Structure 1
Amino acid sequence: MLQDFIDSLSQGPLLGLMLFQVAIVWPLSRILRRAGFSPLWALFSLVPLGHVVPIGVMAHSRWSVLPARQTRKVKARRTA
Structure 2
Amino acid sequence: MTRDWIDMTGYGLGHWAVFAVMIAVLLYPIGRILSRIGLSPLWSVLAVIPVVNLIGLWVLAFADWPGRGGAAGRQKGA
Instruction: Mark the structure with the bigger radius of gyration.
Output: 1
TM-score (norm 1): 0.55
Match of 1:44 among 26, 46, 61: 46
Structure 1 stretch displaced more, 16-25 or 56-65: 16-25
Percent of paired sites with the same residue: 27
Deviation at 1:50?
4.2
Q: Are 1:28 and 2:33 an aligned pair?
A: no
Corresponding residue number in structure 2 for 1:70: 75
After superposition, the C-alpha distances for 1:28-80 in whole angstroms (9 at most, x for unaligned) are 11111111112111111232454324322320200122252238xxxxxxxxx
Distance in 1 (alpha carbons) for counterparts of 2:20 and 2:50:
11
Write the letter of the residue equivalent to 1:8: G
Corresponding residue number in structure 2 for 1:9: 13
Task: Give the paired residue count.
Answer: 63
Distance in 2 (alpha carbons) for counterparts of 1:30 and 1:61:
18
Distance in 1 (alpha carbons) for counterparts of 2:42 and 2:67:
18
- Is the 1:42–1:54 Cα contact (8 Å) retained in structure 2? no
Distance in 1 (alpha carbons) for counterparts of 2:21 and 2:52:
16
- Is the 1:44–1:53 Cα contact (8 Å) retained in structure 2? no
Q: Which runs of 5+ in 2 are unaligned?
A: 1-10
Q: 2:12 aligns to what SS in structure 1?
A: helix
